[in-house]
């Protein structure tokens, strides 16, 4: 077993006692438990120290960290944004160490370090945070404020999962006031992502963003706060199902195709970035006249296709603007299956 002492220093460089420290695994084989766990969550002592233990094992049943790549996070405090460590590599073989050092080297979290190379302790000094503020307004006019909207901000440690924007760690949250305004304080000064929700659900959709003087029709939720103390981000949000897609499905003789499945792939950003953007769908079934209606949460539809018994799959490739289908009418003529 390998042990590592972590020392946390405050903004003045003095030991920070009573600070919450968390360890996160970054590869699929070493992801931390979903619930708080004593082998992954710590609190610093009077000297600002805590100790983590790593097991040289691949046994997934062990509760403690095993071979893998890790990062430490110190929670934000009353006057600071906490801290993140560099990536820490703990692998079984020299070849594995070399591979991990290479795979994880291009990151804003600094050059990865080998656990074995840390001779005494790992020192983490907290940083002063930034503020993110703005208003959440109702789409499409952007006049009426939306109160009671939860706004969260998360840092991304880029863990190796299949879900796109992976390994995000929520670092702050708030709710909009009566005028739709929000302020997130002591946000760690690294690439972060904003998110909005209502009642804990994705029932309110981010549709437009204003960072300067003009609105952009996109959910620009990525913030890169380089060299600034505050970031302004206004959000225009709407409810689900506002964007209408419709049309008719017929065969090669112009006869309606009934009970056909029309499927639209929905992105939650104008330019696909996340796993959710590529794996969210809205479906409709054609009626007796071959008509379908789709009410989509965003106007960024990546593809529209039809599946019907006795016909080959048919997808639309025309009519796309800026790589997505705008709301409107899209008809389909299905060819016969080859004999």
CATH number of domain containing 83: 2.60.40.1120
Same-domain status, 221 and 262: no
Number of domains composing the chain: 3
Same-domain status, 77 and 112: yes
pLDDT of residue 119: 86
pLDDT in tens, 269-288: 988 888 788 889 999 999 99
Query: Which of 11-20, 155-164, 297-306 shows the highest mean pLDDT?
Result: 11-20
- The reply to whether 339 falls in a domain is no
Same-domain status, 228 and 279: no
pLDDT of residue 201: 60
CA gap 73, 334 in Å, rounded: 55
Q: Which residues pair with 4 in a beta bridge?
A: 52
Domain end point (choices 77, 93, 125): 125
Q: Is the pLDDT of residue 199 over 90?
A: no
Least trusted range by pLDDT, from 30-44, 229-243, 312-326 = 312-326
Domain end point (choices 239, 269, 301): 239
Q: Is the pLDDT of residue 251 over 90?
A: yes
Same-domain status, 177 and 110: no
Domain end point (choices 125, 152, 173): 125
Q: Quick count: other Cβ atoms within 10 Å of Cβ 252?
A: 10
Same-domain status, 256 and 324: yes
Same-domain status, 202 and 252: no
pTM of the model: 0.87
- The reply to whether 212 falls in a domain is yes
- The reply to whether 58 falls in a domain is yes
**pLDDT band, very low/low/confident/very high, at 200 (cuts 50, 70, 90):** low
Residues 71-100, mean pLDDT to the nearest whole number:
94
> In terms of residue numbers, what domain contains 72?
2-125
Same-domain status, 8 and 118: yes
């Amino acid at each position: 077993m390998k042990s590592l002492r972590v020392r946390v220093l405050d903004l003045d460089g003095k030991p920070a006692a009573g600070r919450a420290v968390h360890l996160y695994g970054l590869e699929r084989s070493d992801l931390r438990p979903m619930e708080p766990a004593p082998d992954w969550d710590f609190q610093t002592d009077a000297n600002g120290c805590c100790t983590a233990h790593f097991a040289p094992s691949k046994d997934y049943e062990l509760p403690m960290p095993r071979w893998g790549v890790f990062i430490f996070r110190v929670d934000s405090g009353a006057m600071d944004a906490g801290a993140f460590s560099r990536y820490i590599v703990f692998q079984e073989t020299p070849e594995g160490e070399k591979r991990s050092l290479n795979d994880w080297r291009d990151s804003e979290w600094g050059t990865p370090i080998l656990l074995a190379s840390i001779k005494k302790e790992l020192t983490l000094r907290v940083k002063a945070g930034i503020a993110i503020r703005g208003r959440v307004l109702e789409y499409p006019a952007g006049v009426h404020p939306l109160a009671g909207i939860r706004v969260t901000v998360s840092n991304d440690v880029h863990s190796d999962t299949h879900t796109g924007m992976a390994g995000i760690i929520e670092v702050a949250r708030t709710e909009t006031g009566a005028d739709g305004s929000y302020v997130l304080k002591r946000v760690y000064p690294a690439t972060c992502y904003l998110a909005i929700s209502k009642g804990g659900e994705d029932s309110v959709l981010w549709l437009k963003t204003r960072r300067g003087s003009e609105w952009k029709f996109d959910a620009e939720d990525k913030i890169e706060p380089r060299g600034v103390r505050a970031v302004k981000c206004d959000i225009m949000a709407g409810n689900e199902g506002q964007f209408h897609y419709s049309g008719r499905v017929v065969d090669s003789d112009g006869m309606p195709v009934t009970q056909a499945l029309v499927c639209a792939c929905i992105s939650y950003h104008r330019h696909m970035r996340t796993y959710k953007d590529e794996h969210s769908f809205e479906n409709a079934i054609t009626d007796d006249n071959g008509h379908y209606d789709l009410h989509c949460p965003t106007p960024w539809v990546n593809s529209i296709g039809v599946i019907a018994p006795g016909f080959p799959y048919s997808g639309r490739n025309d009519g796309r603007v800026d790589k997505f289908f705008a709301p409107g009418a899209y008809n389909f003529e299905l060819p016969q299956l080859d004999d």
